[in-house]
Structure 1
Amino acid sequence: MLLLAKNVRGSEQVLGDLHALVSANASGAQRIVEFMDEYGMEDLEALTFVVQERAEKAMRDAVQELPDGIYKNEIWASGLGPPEPFPIKITIHGDEIEVDYEGTPPERETGASNSTLSFTVAYTCYTLKCMLTPDVPSNAGCYRMFTVKAPEGSRLNTSKPRAVYLRTHTTWYCPANILYAMANAAPDLVQAFTGFPSSQLIYGRDPNGQVYDDHLFQGGGQGASSRQDGKSGLLFPTTAADTSVELAEARAPILVLIRQYVPDSGVAGRYRGG
């Protein structure tokens, strides 16, 4: 722990999180052992096989309900330069889905807004999972019918040693692209997209010389669906929520004067956005 403390900013916050993770892991391991003892199990291999098989069947059944076809969309994303097009092509065939990001802009040498293919795949598959089988516990079986492609050397499949720290600034558009394209195949299953987040990075030293370092997060609000209003202050595809006023003021020398919803920002409709 001492080595970690010497290599992070705000070690009093980081070490507390690490202790919590270690404790949670130990508690979880103990409960798994108790579960296996109760049912006389030597390992979890057979159980995990069944769980994944059932999850795969549920997802394939859901995909099978969608109309076969090719569904396209294009989003213009702004970032460090002028707006650029991010096209998407989704092919549904039987119980499988292929998502192709051919035409994605090339990777950047500066700005760190590139994404690895693994991160792009994660954002893509998670969006489809939430849309098609939201009530099925997530595991490997949920994703075996998905194929994700992005051109090598592009913003969504960058090559080493390109920087990727701000990859979410690019991959954030992937779920929106998927939802807009899939609206043509399954309009009742998609939601309007999330209002993009904003954040502030605060760093400095207080009068006592103590370093403070915090990341304040504000969500734009979740989009409405065909079944319900969007949630205010929440985001998709992350589960991040707004930083609380109390936490922000405790961690950094700031004073929040007002925090409120913007009237009518959810827009009128059968269901409003968050």
Structure 2
Amino acid sequence: MKKVHVQDPIDLEIKWQRLIAIMDEIDNATIKTAFSTIVSDSHDFACILLDSNGNSICQSSFSPPDFCVIIPSTARKIINKIGKENINDGDVLVTNDPWIAAGHLPDYAILTPIFFKNKLIGFIGTIAHLADVGGHNGDIIANDVYTEGLCIPPSKLVKKSFENNFLFNIISNNTRVPDLVIGDLRAIIGTHKLGKNRIEEFFNDYKLNNFIKLSSVIMGNSEELLRNKIYKLKNGVYKYNLNIDGYFDIVTLNVSIKISDYDIYVDYTGSSTQTHRASINCVYNVTHSSTMYPFKCALAPNIPNNTGLFKPIHVFAPKGSILNTTFPHPVQARAKTTNNINQVIFGALSDVFGEYSQAGSGSIWPFSVFGTDDSDNTFSCHILPHGGRGAMKNMDGLLPIAFPHNSVVTPIEIMELKSPVIFEMKKLIPNSGGPGKYRGGLSQQINIKNISDKTIKARIRPDKIVCEPKGLNNGLPGIRGKVIYNGHEIREFPIFDFKPNDKIELILPGGAGHGNPKDRSKKDINKDLELGYITEEHCKSYYH
């Protein structure tokens, strides 16, 4: 067993928590200053502190887990492309290249260098989902990445404290909502300035000259803690495969996981090949980050993320597969695929993870409306509703909640204020959670109506409408999702005209059950009946 060595653990914890607090302050400032609903309300962004080599030290407490793993590798690629010697105080670096950053064009990576006493000591990194990047505006049907919008290679958005007007103009001229996009970029630049000031105060208070020693200790301790957790697991090879919706065709995710002493090797050989028919392909960056999250949940839930934490986990996905797509395959809707990676990991390691194993969850269904309202004002609004969460070995699945992300549902009042739609209904669906010893989380139904006199555009990206969330250990699946448009179920989801008085009903998938339904306690069954989570008929069918 490896021994964790911590030098002055109290001092380390004080410094570490102060740095996390600085990232939380940047996070909160971003929410308050951003322009778009996807950033300010849905919280589709992350803030990370990195050392001068691009290794993550800490993140904000609210950052989406996938971004937290991606930002360090993105930072290193940007630094290598631009050259550390060419980075100056006052610069702000940017890219949205999917193969460098977060896997699709709307996710912009913004990197601000931190200088102290004229020396580069680190970076503040943010990945944020911007409201619109041109192209086909997020349509899932695409043949290549060129149709999906503007791609910015690693560049300087700000040069020595002066905005790069040429680049700002390119971005502004290639979006339908320049006020939102440029507003969000400037908000992030401003919050990074706040963070730089706080880091300078930190260095002065502790009389530090660089992050290298602190970063090394944090990463080293985190790595050893995780290796010790892995060492307690049973060595072996564990396999699982899962069919998921895809778009035109069913997609298979196949995994083989080898646990070997202090390391874990994850191999996705056998998964479906990449496709030119729909934008559901995943770059390796996103596959890698999505793989880390279930291990983080099960093995290290209380250890803050940093680069060292993920060193013991090694991920391989064959080049040209749907989990390691090659340029220029379309990638806009990559989350339809990567949001299911956690399910194959939990499926393969359900016995190994024990109480932390989780059945399949209902997905996030990104829904957006955009266009011009009755006053000819341009708008673009997003909401990220969730299905029910999968049950665990000793706990019912949670009611609709984001998983495997921690995105926030834009408040209905904000959507109705900023776009010409009204939400006529938002309710839990009885019997939607998969039966099991522990029941899957209930899903929800959301009814939306266009109340303007104009036809606007709408986009919905559903999941699990063909392949339902899968149960574990004899637990049963949650319900499949459905999309009802003007009373008729639809199964294809390009961007569509949302006409005056048209209605769309979103029936999201339910979380799957864990364990045999016949083993569910009478107390839990009666509580579900009392709360209206299940009906008497459903109870008789599955629990008696």
TM-score after normalising by structure 2: 0.48
Kept in 1: contact 2:253–2:268 (CA 8 A):
yes
Q: In the alignment, residue 158 of structure 1 is paired with which amino acid?
A: T
Deviation at 1:229, TM superposition (A): 4.1
Deviation at 1:13, TM superposition (A): 3.1
Partner of 2:321: 154
Partner of 1:232: 399
Q: In the alignment, residue 120 of structure 1 is paired with which amino acid?
A: T
Partner of 2:389: 222
Deviation at 1:81, TM superposition (A): 2.4
Output the CA distance in 2 between the equivalents of 1:25 and 1:56: 28
1:88-139 per-residue CA deviation (whole Å, 9 max, x = no partner) reads: 1111010100111111111101211111112111110122122210110101
SS of the residue 2:255 aligns to: strand
Partner of 1:113: 280
Picking from 98, 119, 135, the partner of 2:302 is 135
Kept in 1: contact 2:365–2:386 (CA 8 A):
yes
Partner of 2:354: 187
SS of the residue 2:358 aligns to: coil
1:186-244 per-residue CA deviation (whole Å, 9 max, x = no partner) reads: 22222223211223231221122222222222100322323544332322221123332
Kept in 2: contact 1:233–1:241 (CA 8 A):
no
Kept in 1: contact 2:363–2:403 (CA 8 A):
no
Output the CA distance in 2 between the equivalents of 1:15 and 1:227: 47
**2:231 aligned with 1:67, yes or no?**
no
Output the CA distance in 2 between the equivalents of 1:52 and 1:29: 22
Picking from 177, 185, 205, the partner of 1:18 is 185
Q: In the alignment, residue 321 of structure 2 is paired with which amino acid?
A: S
SS of the residue 1:99 aligns to: strand
Identical columns (%)? 30
Unpaired runs of at least 5, structure 2:
1-162, 442-544
Deviation at 1:267, TM superposition (A): 4.5
**2:225 aligned with 1:58, yes or no?**
yes
Picking from 172, 188, 203, the partner of 1:36 is 203
Picking from 234, 245, 261, the partner of 1:78 is 245
**2:430 aligned with 1:266, yes or no?**
no
Kept in 1: contact 2:364–2:403 (CA 8 A):
no
Partner of 1:91: 258
Output the CA distance in 1 between the equivalents of 2:349 and 2:321: 23
Output the CA distance in 2 between the equivalents of 1:102 and 1:269: 31
Partner of 1:253: 420
Partner of 1:163: 330
| Higher strand residue share | 2
Unpaired runs of at least 5, structure 1:
none
Output the CA distance in 2 between the equivalents of 1:16 and 1:26: 16
Picking from 41, 49, 52, the partner of 2:216 is 49
Kept in 1: contact 2:294–2:342 (CA 8 A):
yes
1:161-201 per-residue CA deviation (whole Å, 9 max, x = no partner) reads: 11111111111221110011110322222222321122323
Deviation at 1:269, TM superposition (A): 5.0
Output the CA distance in 2 between the equivalents of 1:13 and 1:260: 31
1:5-63 per-residue CA deviation (whole Å, 9 max, x = no partner) reads: 44333333334433432232122221211111111111111001000011001110111
Structure label with greater radius of gyration:
2
Deviation at 1:149, TM superposition (A): 0.9
Kept in 1: contact 2:248–2:277 (CA 8 A):
no
Output the CA distance in 2 between the equivalents of 1:158 and 1:187: 33
